[in-house]
Amino acid sequence: MRTPLIAGNWKMNGSRASVKELLNGVVAGITEVKRAAVAVCVPYIYIPEVASRLQGTPVAWGAQNVSTESKGAYTGEIAAAMLMDFGCRYVIVGHSERRTLYAETDAGVAKKYGMVTAAGMTPIFCLGETLEERERGVTEQVVTRQLKAVIDMHGVKALQVGVIAYEPVWAIGTGKTATPQQAQAVHAYIRGRIAEYDKTVAAAVLIQYGGSMNAQNAEELLAMPDIDGGLIGGASLKADDFLTICKAANR
């Protein structure tokens, strides 16, 4: 039985004051979350404060990106070991905003995946098609290509220590969620591709859905057999909404 993971992706939002308030709200309601594991992936600069607030609570924390390199002359970058040093459990890699706005490649994302696992953390590995790709009917080819980049570089067993987040790009931040059936179909497809390499890994790997998941639609998405939690952007910035999503996985 897979334990769902609900992870907040705060993106580039917040202030010291709002972070404090948001965390207090999440921690106050967390005992009502019975089944899902819960995490927040926050802007780098807030990690020390988030770590000290969440230490000893059931809420884990993580980052939204990491360097492809381990140390040295890479101005402005943050290494995986630094994140580990601050107790991060999760690191998002390959988010579509990084792929499109910062030109991250499949190979670069796969390299980051390896940096995160080597440091002892769990990558939340994002993949998903754009609207144009969906309309062209190449969703399966796109997610296969993105998935294969990690498998080719690290082997299928590397997926055992990661989490996959299927995020159709057209659903991110648009309020346009994939229907539970649309999402389930791609999740099942991804799991099937992994099963071609290793059935045990395929059965165990968490595949989250991301893209306008919110307090209203979480329950029906999370009820699908291959949807193992969510990566939540906008709705993770309000404690009540985020907790409602976490509780939607209680059944």
Backbone φ, ψ for residue 200 (5° rounding): -65, -45
Which CB atom, from 79 or from 231, has the smaller least distance to ligand PGA? 231
CA-closest candidate to residue 194, choices 157, 153, 154, 166: 157
How far is residue 129's CA from residue 39's CA, in Å, rounded to a whole number? 25
- SS3 for 13? coil
211 forms part of the interface with ligand PGA (CB under 6 A): yes
How far is residue 231's CA from residue 64's CA, in Å, rounded to a whole number? 11
216 forms part of the interface with ligand PGA (CB under 6 A): no
How far is residue 58's CA from residue 114's CA, in Å, rounded to a whole number? 26
Active-site annotation holder among 95, 97, 104, 154: 95
- Identify any residues that bridge with 124 across adjacent strands, giving them in sequence order: 92, 163
62 forms part of the interface with ligand PGA (CB under 6 A): no
User: Catalytic site residue 77?
Assistant: no
Give the DSSP per-residue string, 164-233: EEE--GGGTTTS-PPPHHHHHHHHHHHHHHHHHH-HHHHHH-EEEEESS--TTTHHHHHTSTT--EEEES
Tokens at 6, concatenated? 């609900």
Query: Which residues, 138 to 167, sit near ligand PGA by CB under 6 A?
Result: 167
CB atoms within 10 A of CB 94: 27
User: Catalytic site residue 187?
Assistant: no
Which CB atom, from 113 or from 156, has the smaller least distance to ligand PGA? 113
Which CB atom, from 9 or from 139, has the smaller least distance to ligand PGA? 9
Q: Which stretch binds ligand PGA (CB under 6 A): 80-88, 108-116, 139-147, 230-238?
A: 230-238
Active-site annotation holder among 97, 104, 133, 167: 167
For 188-245, strand residue ranges (E) read 206-210, 229-232
Which CB atom, from 143 or from 232, has the smaller least distance to ligand PGA? 232
232 forms part of the interface with ligand PGA (CB under 6 A): yes
Q: Minimal distance in Å, beta carbon 215 to ligand PGA?
A: 11
Q: Which residue sits closest to ligand PGA, CB atoms considered?
A: 233
Site map 101..130 versus ligand PGA, x via CB under 6 A: ------------------------------
Instruction: Point out the residues that are catalytic.
Output: 95, 167
Residues that bind ligand PGA (CB under 6 A): 9, 167, 172-173, 210-213, 231-235
